[in-house]
């Protein structure tokens, strides 16, 4: 094999393995982020439910889910079909949508 073909083959092999590693690393980082986000959302939901249970036992009104989830993670709130219109109204300037 000529030196030129050997160099081209070596460079091709390096590029293929490096791009595979980058994709693998990127995929793994995305998976870790997704798991962390899922865990954070589960913890938020559990705490939200616990807080509302405590509030109701004291005779207080429960917190609004849409307002709470929007303040925690706007993107997640916008994905919730029950909250989508409320959030749209709030972002359009209707401050009465979410209680303080």
This prediction's pTM = 0.63
CB-CB neighbours of 83 under 10 Å: 22
Question: What is the C-alpha to C-alpha distance for residues 96 and 51, in angstroms, rounded to an integer?
Answer: 22
The pLDDT profile of the chain, 100 residues, written as one tens digit per residue, is 566 665 555 555 555 556 555 554 556 556 555 667 889 999 999 999 999 999 999 999 999 999 999 999 999 999 999 999 999 999 999 989 987 6
Distant-in-sequence, close-in-space partners of 83: CB < 8 Å, separation ≥ 6:
65, 66, 69, 70, 77
Q: Please, are residues 86 and 99 in contact by the beta-carbon 8 Å criterion?
A: no
Q: Which secondary structure element, helix H or strand E, spans residue 72, and what is its range?
A: helix 65-72
């Amino acid at each position: 094999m000529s030196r030129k073909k050997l160099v081209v083959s070596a460079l091709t092999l390096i590029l293929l393995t490096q791009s595979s590693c980058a994709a693998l690393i990127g995929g793994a980082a995305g998976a870790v982020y997704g798991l962390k986000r899922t865990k954070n959302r589960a913890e938020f939901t559990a705490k939200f439910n616990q807080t509302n249970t405590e509030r109701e036992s004291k005779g207080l009104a429960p917190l609004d889910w849409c307002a709470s989830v929007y303040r925690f993670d706007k993107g997640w709130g916008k994905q919730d079909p029950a909250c989508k219109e409320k959030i749209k109204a709030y972002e359009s300037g209707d401050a009465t949508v979410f209680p303080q």
